Structure 1
Amino acid sequence: MRIFLLLVRAGFRRHSTYRLALVAGLTTNSVFGMIRASVLLAAIASAGSAIGGYSGPMAAAFVWWGQALLGTVNLWGFQEVKERVRTGDIAVDFLRPLDPQLVYLAGDVGRAGINFVARGVPALLIGALLFDLAWPPGPAAWLVGAASVGLAVVVGFAGSFIVNLVSFWVIEVRGIQLVWTVVAGLFCGLYVPVPWFPGWLRTIADWSPFPAMLQHPIDILCGRLVGADVGLTLANQVLWAVVLLGLGQVVMRAGRRHLEVQGG
């Protein structure tokens, strides 16, 4: 655990050096937050009532929590593991005494931390100044919401890690990563809330890991889920985190047996 925390801190410090990127991300998130919130509020106003359990304040909170978590949860994937497989440097990771998946997870947790502090919190404050937002109903809901965000980070990392590992067998995985990004953006609730989907499409989303990456923590933090529904939602996130991390281990070990590195 001590080594894991040290790696988390290293990931936090590493990504905190990109200050202009953090400011640019905050600016982009805020602009798109205003556009998305206006569109969803217009839809609810035209319907004359809540849609899918979302009132106006809940819909605004959905948008701004989503913008706050956009840089925190790794929806867009990462390239580092893929590049290390391509160059053969992944062999060095296998020779180290720490599990590579754990090392990269720790770095991603640190990245998530700096993005939430530097991009997420300011974006959420901007949203609170401009719109009437629904908030978690009490201290317990805040704590559960924080745990849900942490699980979302793990699920997002685990899925992207598996996509990177495909590079053990495929020369170029950018197409696969693009498909992952598009599908994840749709089914995680990035564009519109998953409860707004048609029934058949919502069923597909509910049986996928993607809502655990964004929709679930937002529903808890905006107060849409209460009581037993919160526990079921957390259980779903834990399940997907365990499944994807376990699958990542299986794929990584298969790739390790398949790996050949030549050179001097």
Structure 2
Amino acid sequence: MPTYWSIATASFRQYSTYRMATAAGVFTNTIFGLIRASIMIAAITTAGGELSGYTVAQAATYVWLGQALLAPIEAFGTREVSQRVHQGDVAVDLLRPTAFLGLYYAQKLGRSSFLLMGRGVPPLAVGALVTGLALPDDPLSYLLGAVSLLLAITVAFLGDMMVNLAAFWLLETRGLTVVYNAVMNLLSGFLIPILWFPDWLLTIARATPFPSMIQTPIDTLSGRVPPAEALPLVFTQVVWLAVLTLAAQLMLRAGVRSVEVQGG
């Protein structure tokens, strides 16, 4: 455990040195947040002040929380592991005394912790000033929201890792990454709440782990879903965490055997 803590803190310090990139990310997140909030507020206003359970204030809060979570969840994916597989550097990772998934998960937690504070909180503060935020009065919503956020980051990490691990069998994973990111951003509720989907698409979304990455933590943190109703959603996150952990482990083992069969 101390080893993984050291890895996480080193990852946090590493990303804290990218000050210009952080500032650029904050600016971009804020501008897109303003655009998305304007569109969603206009849609709800046109609908009469409420749309599928979302008021104007709740929709604005949804947008700003989504912008705050965009960077720590890394909604657009990563390619580090796939590149290391293609370059053969993954052999070094497999020889380390730490578990492969544990190593990258510790890096993810350190990186996400900084991104949440450095690139997530500032746009959220701007949103509070410009449109206002509808936040819960029940302290349990914040506690449960923090748990849901950690689970969301973990589920997103596992999904992204599985896409990267496909590099053991694919010569190029960029196309798969693009498709995965497009589907994830839609079905997770990042673009619009999944409750705004037609019934057939809502059913598909709920059958995937993607809402556990964005929709669930936002609804829990914002208090739009009360704690008693949020508990089943958090439990669903736990189930997906277990399923994706098992799937990622199986992919990793099969990938390692594939590398060994190929002679290296």
Q: Please, what TM-score do these two structures have when normalized by structure 1?
A: 0.97
CA contact 1:58–1:223 (8 Å) conserved in 2: no
Instruction: Verify: 1:29 aligned to 2:43, yes or no.
Output: no
The 5-angstrom pairing of residues 1-264 of structure 1 reads 1-260=1-260
Residues 152 and 214, structure 1, Cα contact 8 Å, conserved in 2: yes
AA partner of residue 94 (structure 2): F
Residues 161-206 of structure 1: per-residue CA shift (max 9 Å, x gap):
0000101011000000000000001011111111000011000000
* 8 Å Cα contact 1:136-1:220 kept in structure 2: no
Deviations, residues 76-123 of structure 1 (Å, cap 9, x unaligned)? 111111111111111111111211101001101111110011111111
Superimposed CA distance per residue, residues 232-262 of structure 1 (whole angstroms, 9 cap, x where no aligned partner): 0100111111111111000000000000477
Counterpart Cα distance in 2 of 1:247 and 1:110: 23
Deviations 1:134-174 (A, max 9, x none): 11222211111111111110011100100001010110000
Q: Secondary structure at the match of 2:51?
A: coil
**2-side partners of 1:96 and 1:39: how far apart?**
49
Letter in 2 for 1:101: L
Q: Which amino acid in structure 2 is aligned with residue 218 of structure 1?
A: I
Kept in 1, the 8 Å contact 2:5–2:106? The answer is yes
> Which string of whole-angstrom CA distances, capped at 9 and with x for unpartnered residues, describes residues 7-55 of structure 1?
1111111111211111111001100111111111111111113111111
Between the aligned partners of 2:74 and 2:118, the Cα distance in structure 1 is 15
Contact 2:220 2:227 in 1 (8 A): no
For 1:47, the aligned partner's letter is A
Which one is further off, 225-234 or 126-135?
225-234
Q: Is 1:165–1:255's contact at 8 Å kept on the other side of the alignment?
A: yes
User: Is the 2:68–2:123 contact (alpha carbons within 8 Å) kept by the matching residues of 1?
Assistant: yes
Corresponding pairs, count: 263
Give the whole-Å Cα distance in 1 for the aligned partners of 2:113 and 2:132.
26
Conserved 8 A contact 2:188-2:210: yes
The one-letter amino acid paired with 1:16 is: S
SS in 2 for 1:171: coil
Query: Counterpart of 1:164 in structure 2: which amino acid?
Result: N
Secondary structure class of the residue paired with 2:50: coil
* Cα deviation code 1:197-242 (max 9, x no counterpart): 0011000000101011111000111221114321001001111111
Question: C-alpha root-mean-square deviation of aligned residues, in Å?
Answer: 1.2
What letter corresponds to residue 179 of structure 2 in structure 1? V
Hey, what's the Cα distance between the residues in 2 that align with 1:145 and 1:75?
19
Looking at structure 2, the residues matched to 197 and 113 of structure 1 have their Cα atoms a distance apart, in angstroms, of 31
Between the aligned partners of 1:92 and 1:131, the Cα distance in structure 2 is 49
Judge conservation of contact 2:62–2:218 (CA < 8 Å) in 1: yes
Q: Structure 1 CA distance, aligned partners of 2:70 and 2:111?
A: 12
Q: 160-169 or 223-232: which moved more?
A: 223-232
Equivalents in 2 of 1:80, 1:169: separation in Å? 16
Q: Structure 2 CA distance, aligned partners of 1:46 and 1:11?
A: 45
The DSSP-based 3-state class of the residue aligned with 1:134 is coil
CA separation in 1, counterparts of 2:227 and 2:251? 37
Runs of 4+ in 1 over 3 A off after TM superposition: 260-263
Unaligned runs of 5+ in 1: none
User: 1 CA distance for matches of 2:243 and 2:14?
Assistant: 29
